[in-house]
Structure 1
Amino acid sequence: MSKVFVSAKLPAITITKLENANINTTVYSGNTLISQAELLSSVTDIDFLITALSTKVDQEVIDNAPNLKIIANFGAGFNNIDIEYAKQKGILVTNTPLVSTNSVAEVTIGLLLALSHRIVEGDALMRADGFPGWSPLYFLGHEIAGQRLGIVGMGSIGRDVAKKARAMSMDVQYWQPHQLSDPEERSLGVHYVSFEQLINTSDFISINAPQTKTNFHQFNQDVFKQMKSTASIINVGRGPIIDEKALLKALQDKTIAGAALDVYEHEPNIEDGLADLKNVIITPHIGNATVEARDAMGTIVADNVVAVFKNELPKYIVNK
């Protein structure tokens, strides 16, 4: 009987679909992230692996699973998997794109609003000391209407962020390695600029890009110095795109005004000192943490495993 190992607790719909297809299903039952040692011991006789974005699937794991046919990654990203080595071994790797677009875009806008109106800072104040009462110049923030948002990465999430930001009267510019077509830009109401112009002129910068071989520490000490001192940065893309040590210094020195992070360079750990700053919002990678998005992701990984089980081609192969 074919076997699948699920390396994290997933929505019930995932397990139901696998069991309905008569696939022998084992789910990691621990309350913490699965260790590499336990993962290695769990894959020795499996045919299919469903794994969370937080789980590293390297050459050692792949070599320990000689019967493996597919690695179905529960996440839009796949930098946790050695996809090239999997390809060499004839193993398909899939991801779950698109279904989390709206959720991540909503979180991006939520973080932007929370920064500009100091919502998290205000909540902490009320829970600690309270406030002395309303007065005209007390606890001022900024409206986002008329502010310039610079988006790094105009995939499906970046485009949805742009639509939502335009609906709130923001001026939206973007940068990525390849410019969108003129009709796409006009449809979104955005304009393309160089990376230098984006970091020099944006009031808010939103990182909505995947991690690539070329954007490690794209936002470093030199880049922060080029940003407006009143600007804030939001990262819901991938943690290593920002040099967190450089970000900490930029925030401490008031080189930039604020930051909101949902992903981290050394996730799940964050740079010591960031949590102590009032001008930083930190959230536990909740970009697509909605019932709707996670159920849709769970459906995709299960359907992809079932497809391979039936000798059919799965969707969203990332290592063709």
Structure 2
Amino acid sequence: MAESRPRVWVSQPLFDDLVGRLAVHFDVHATDVVTEHSPAAITEALRDSAGALVTLNEKIGAPQIAGAPGLRAIANVGVGYNNLDVPALTAAGIVATNTPDVLTETTADFGFALLMATARRITEAERWLREGQWQQWSFSTLLGADLHGSTLGIVGMGRIGQGIARRARGFGMRVLYHNRSRLPDTVEHECGASYAGFDDLLAQADHVVLVLPYSPQVHHLVDASALAKMKSTATLVNIARGGIVDEVALADALANGRLAAAGLDVYEGEPAVRPELLALRNVVLTPHIASASLATRRAMVSLAVDNLIAALGEGPDAGRPPTPVNPDALAATAGITIAKRQGA
């Protein structure tokens, strides 16, 4: 009797043609409709699985993997992976992967678009028009802030932050950045950016964009104290992760004129959005769509599929997934791959 193939779980409907590549190697159990999986449902789905293709909606930690002794790989569709307890996965010898790089330019495009919409009050103006308030032109109607000639502060100067900086050069903006480590001089020159301390950046910037990865160390990095250091005429854009901003403090600053406007694509409790933010007109709210172009989302799924196939010891890159998050865990799967190749 032929040996049964490893089972893999696909947590959400993605692109059938790309996910279909998994069926060449595995017994695929794919979710047919968009589903909010409970922790218990995730635990059950992983129980007999060798691997899983998941999105940022699925939180996977020690409780979810405790009853899944055969689980060897989790492929996350996203550059961020704070939905995964990476130390727990590593301790269990489970490879985690993500999908960086393929979304850099698309996300930088969106970040700059959100910055422009926030500074120029685009969504506020559309709501005002749709509500029938445009009865007569006024010289002072919906005055916003210029981007050209202003100072942009970028917090987190990875690939996406650098992409935003390059776009800012075309608008003649002065660019400051803050990062865990200073970039090489050649990269600073290419981006037209200068390093600044976090507090100095907040104080000088007319517009601040957050593009840093989430970690417990940066939880509520932008809190009431940080917001107080910003100009009252400044704008704040967050395309990083919701937990980086104290949303209660942000809503209070926006409501009381201590900050001009904000643009948010990510939220601490998403998909829930705080009612304090929903009630404000000087905040642009989008539903975590910075990478949402068709070409980019397909590229993300394709890379996640490649990662899962390789992490489970199949395909031309068997044992060498392109973008592992915890390469130390590869040692556990490497032994399985070698044994398989040797016919053990």
Per the shorter chain, which TM-score range?
over 0.9
Tell me the equivalent position of 1:198. 201
Tell me the equivalent position of 2:319. 312
2:232 to 229, 234, 245: 229
Query: C-alpha displacement at 1:309, in angstroms?
Result: 3.4
Tell me the equivalent position of 1:158. 161
Tell me the equivalent position of 2:7. 3
Asked if structure 1 preserves the Cα contact closer than 8 Å seen for 2:50 and 2:73, the reply is yes
Q: Which has the larger radius of gyration?
A: 2
Matching of residue 167 in structure 1 with residue 164 in structure 2: no
Asked if structure 2 preserves the Cα contact closer than 8 Å seen for 1:13 and 1:299, the reply is no
1:122 to 115, 122, 125: 125
- The Cα RMSD (Å) is 1.2
CA distance, structure 1, for counterparts of residue 252 and residue 176 of structure 2: 26
TM-score computed with the length of structure 2 as normaliser: 0.90
Render the CA deviation track for 1:105-157: whole Å, top value 9, x for unaligned.
Answer: 11111111111221101111111124023343332223210011100000010
CA distance, structure 2, for counterparts of residue 319 and residue 5 of structure 1: 20
Matching of residue 282 in structure 1 with residue 285 in structure 2: yes
Asked if structure 2 preserves the Cα contact closer than 8 Å seen for 1:11 and 1:294, the reply is no
Matching of residue 47 in structure 1 with residue 66 in structure 2: no
**How many positions carry a matched residue from both structures?**
319
TM-score computed with the length of structure 1 as normaliser: 0.96
Q: Give the gaps of 5 or more residues in structure 2.
A: 328-344
Q: Give the gaps of 5 or more residues in structure 1.
A: none
**Amino acid aligned to 2:214:** Q
Matching of residue 62 in structure 1 with residue 65 in structure 2: yes
Query: C-alpha displacement at 1:195, in angstroms?
Result: 0.5
Render the CA deviation track for 1:233-288: whole Å, top value 9, x for unaligned.
Answer: 00000111000111111111111111110001111112221111110111100011
**Amino acid aligned to 2:115:** L
Matching of residue 137 in structure 1 with residue 140 in structure 2: yes
Matching of residue 245 in structure 1 with residue 248 in structure 2: yes
Asked if structure 2 preserves the Cα contact closer than 8 Å seen for 1:13 and 1:295, the reply is no
CA distance, structure 2, for counterparts of residue 13 and residue 169 of structure 1: 43
SS in 2 for 1:214: helix
CA distance, structure 2, for counterparts of residue 91 and residue 101 of structure 1: 27
Q: Aligned residues: percent identity?
A: 35
Query: C-alpha displacement at 1:213, in angstroms?
Result: 2.7
Asked if structure 2 preserves the Cα contact closer than 8 Å seen for 1:17 and 1:302, the reply is yes
1:103 to 87, 92, 106: 106
CA distance, structure 2, for counterparts of residue 135 and residue 271 of structure 1: 33
Asked if structure 2 preserves the Cα contact closer than 8 Å seen for 1:117 and 1:141, the reply is yes
